[in-house]
Structure 1
Amino acid sequence: MPEGDNDVSASPVVTPWNVEGAVDYHKLVAEFGSTPIEPALVQRIERITGERAHTFLRRQIFFSHRDLSQLLDWYEAGQPFYLYTGRGPSSDALHLGHLVPFMFTRYLQRVFRAPLVIQITDDEKFLFSKQDAAVRPLEAYRQLGRDNAKDILACGFDLERTFLFADTDYLAHLYPNVLRIQRAVTFSQARGIFGFQDADNIGKIAFPAVQAAPAFSSSFPHLFGDNAQVPCLIPCAIDQDPYFRMTRDVAPRLGYRKPALIHSKFFPALHGHQGKMSASIPGSAIYVTDSAAAIRKKVNKYAYSGGRDTVEEHRRLGGDCDRDIAFQYLTFFLDDDERLADIAEAYRSGRMLSGELKAELIRALQPMVAQHQEARAAITEETVARFMQVRPMATWGA
């Protein structure tokens, strides 16, 4: 039955560092100026790849894009592309929301046989941290980055086509493009995009160029040689879009192609359908390190329900799938479309109670997390070092 108290009156806040309130994705697309992903585009991806679209595409979890159609035009014309995604290490273990872009990127890498670069922004998290540097020094974020890399690689990326790097290790290679971007963006523009304040340290103001640089293939000469025009596709949550609006704006002035983007919705917190899951809010997150018992306890105790106040009322009026967190999580992680439709019908009709819906989610999550933990246990420091080695790689093809 209903748990939590969500205030829907406040306007939503969506920035690269903070998401609060009930997000209207249609309004967000209009505000950001991106393009909705229509069924025809999903069908085109299926035709090109010869495979059924990923669950996240079929269910509009990845729902918006910039220039994805043009990227597919280039791909069909024989011009391959590379993928770029990343992670800002702020906790020693990822939660389920952190996995979403990596699960989807792994799908894209496999079906398009595309090379991939994964950026670990240990510098960003150090610069933007609210903790005193003496309490959590730069070295702590470097270590978090190595720990997070193991969880990322446990998603199953192809060693022959994946380069993972930490900014504090690879910045010398990025720096020529970082400088070009920094010179092309004024402080006034950066403040307008990111909301920087006079009290912010200068590292924050300089950082967006570091996140922008991997979107240009010339940042990776060991992968692409002197080809500065390899198209790039960036899968990311839509709160990261401001970084890449800036990137796309400066690209023509630098003589580069604009990167294409594909945006995901936010993975909701356990305690309510607004905002997104956060590692900093107790009870809002399920971690990839959680045991089966911990998953069961968190879902049963914290998952916001779309059910009614009493069993009798629920049987008569049915539950609200749009507000029920257990159902929302199933839309991410239950691949069987027919089973999901049956659950939705049973819940909305009142035949399925909130506790039964939570049990469905627990049965879906426990083996998925256990499988991830098994894969993660096989990722050693040596494995991470191999993925992070600056080296030539297979780029495209079988």
Structure 2
Amino acid sequence: MASEAVGAPPAVNKEVDERKPAKQKIDPWNVAGEVDDSGNVKAIDYDRLIEDFGVQPLTQAHLERFEKVTGKPAHRLMRRKLFFSHRDFDKILDYYEQHGQFLLYTGRGPSSGSMHLGHTVPFLFTKEIQELFDVPLVIMMTDDEKFLYTRNKNEGSMKKGAAPDDFLDYAYENIKDIIALGFDPKKTFIYSDYEFMGGHFYRNVSEFESMVTYNQASGAFGFGESTNIGLISFMAKQCVAAFPSSYPELFGLPDYRAPDFDQAGKRRHKALASIPCLIPCAIDQEPYFRVLRDRSERMVDPHPKPALIMSKFLTALQGPGGKMSASDPNSAIFMSDTPNQIKSKINKHAFSGGQQTEEEHRRLGGNPDVDVAFTYLSYFLEDDKELEDLAKQYRAGEILTGEMKAKCVGELQNFVAAFKERRDSVTPEVMREFMRPRKLEFVGNPNPIKPKAAEGASGSNGSAVPSGAAGEGAGGKDGRGTKGERKAAKLAEKKAEKEAEKLALRQKAEEAKPEV
């Protein structure tokens, strides 16, 4: 998944930097607010994005439904409408309540050796979702996409620091960052596209590629005749990463990768195709998943349309219209920054919603809605009451800009310091465990409304069909399982009957022996 799926996209376009009039531009590689005739950059218009992308707003009713299903308060990012839009979020809640399972998927496009605050926000949200629902999570590191995009941006030339190996190095450093945010290794699989691609994943890629024409790809992403073919075809990889059938080993079923010629691993695991997926991401990634949702049910093994819950962008230090960017150190707080660097960046670069003088501020008050320090606090300060009080006091002129910045600096320094301490403990052995394909351990909803029709049925390799794959519609449209699964179940039943007969004969023979 491109880096924008988990944080800030690249720097604002050149035309924005030059302050030429322009409409806001939001796509997987560019995020820029509208520039008016006077050269002023406006804040991102999220209401317009909802309308343009055809998504739905996340409402209070959704939060109440979420709390009913989980029994826990909605995450602060949902309460504060920082995750603000969705596709079928209500349906994923219904499925979890009824059948108890779904796959969680997000990702990161590694473009530098350190993530920044904007990158951590969706991961922190995803972590909370995983903990609340107890579901498996896959995290895709799109090192290949970042190479393809960068080379395309450089008009086909290979520049220093932008080779495939460089992006793979970035991926490994970013994986350490992600692990340091606190994910559970028992139910989390992290992978690099360059290293993992193959097996059932690539079969899904190939099938999905066959359903998308150049004209359709160009219409969705604006590709032109000079776009390299790798970037055009990449969408299939990011799309099928949402299919549980791309990861059979995570559910205890065999994958097929040479030189393993196990026939059981070759065949598709149809039951996995019935498991739905939830994708937390920033809204600029929506075009990818719009294409995915249009085609997921047309796969040979139809997959349900993935659900999305989408976030706003964490604004750049400079304020509205931009967002944190790895290409501009002064726009972002990096997770590798020192306490002094954090303090200096906030004090020097954070856009203020206060007045020009203390006297004016005391009299007129400030505007927390555009104040960057307050904006960052809205993402990282847990206490709703404290945040509300800060906003009221700022508007009333009771708190000065310097005091708001000091509060922000303290919160971010504490967050980054705790992160660094955890990152220091991420050894190569820890990374290997997260990146090793293996059966994940998860429970899901322990009390689903609808019992799982095929609970405990045997898969093609004799292992149990995963919980959640055996719900309504699993293993074929009638829920009876595939032909191979039904055959395996009958063989297992006959074997059990024979074992029972042998046991009964042995017991009868023992009883017939004369007592000594």
What letter is aligned with 2:278?
A: L
CA contact (8 A) 1:124 1:207 kept: yes
Equivalent in the alignment of 1:200: 227
Question: For the residues of structure 2 that align with 1:82 and 1:396, how far apart are their CA atoms?
Answer: 12
Give deviations 1:72-107, integer Å, cap 9, x for gaps.
Answer: 111111241010000000000000000011000000
Secondary structure of 1:118 counterpart: strand
Question: For the residues of structure 2 that align with 1:345 and 1:358, how far apart are their CA atoms?
Answer: 16
Equivalent in the alignment of 1:107: 128
Would you say how many aligned residue pairs link Structure 1 and Structure 2? 394
Pairing of 1:113-124 with structure 2 (within 5 A): 113-124=134-145
Give deviations 1:283-342, integer Å, cap 9, x for gaps.
Answer: 100001111111100000000001111211111111111111011111101111111111
Equivalent in the alignment of 1:18: 30
Per mean C-alpha deviation after superposition, the further-off stretch among 291-300 and 6-15 is: 6-15
Equivalent in the alignment of 2:422: 375
What letter is aligned with 1:394?
A: E
* Offset, 1:52: 1.4
Residue number among 230, 233, 257 corresponding to 2:304 in the alignment:
257
Determine if the alignment matches structure 1 residue 323 to structure 2 residue 370.
Answer: yes
Equivalent in the alignment of 1:266: 313
CA contact (8 A) 1:333 1:364 kept: yes
CA contact (8 A) 1:71 1:231 kept: yes
Pairing of 1:1-398 with structure 2 (within 5 A): 10-21=22-33, 22-129=43-150, 130=153, 132-133=157-158, 135=160, 136-173=162-199, 174-224=201-251, 225=253, 226=269, 227-254=272-299, 255-397=302-444
Secondary structure of 1:210 counterpart: helix
CA contact (8 A) 1:304 1:324 kept: yes
Secondary structure of 1:207 counterpart: helix
Question: For the residues of structure 1 that align with 2:18 and 2:54, how far apart are their CA atoms?
Answer: 28
Question: For the residues of structure 2 that align with 1:7 and 1:322, how far apart are their CA atoms?
Answer: 23
The normalised TM-score by structure 2 is 0.75
* Offset, 1:9: 5.8
Secondary structure of 1:77 counterpart: helix
* Offset, 1:40: 1.4
What letter is aligned with 1:40?
A: A
Question: For the residues of structure 2 that align with 1:193 and 1:91, how far apart are their CA atoms?
Answer: 27
What letter is aligned with 2:408?
A: L
CA contact (8 A) 1:6 1:272 kept: no
* Offset, 1:8: 10
Per mean C-alpha deviation after superposition, the further-off stretch among 181-190 and 312-321 is: 312-321
Question: For the residues of structure 2 that align with 1:8 and 1:40, how far apart are their CA atoms?
Answer: 41
* Offset, 1:200: 1.2
Secondary structure of 1:184 counterpart: coil
Question: For the residues of structure 2 that align with 1:274 and 1:237, how far apart are their CA atoms?
Answer: 15
* Offset, 1:396: 2.5
Q: Which runs of 5+ in 2 are unaligned?
A: 1-16, 34-42, 254-268, 447-516
Give deviations 1:332-376, integer Å, cap 9, x for gaps.
Answer: 011111111111011111111111110110111111110001111
The structure having more radius of gyration, on CA atoms, is 2
* Offset, 1:7: 6.1
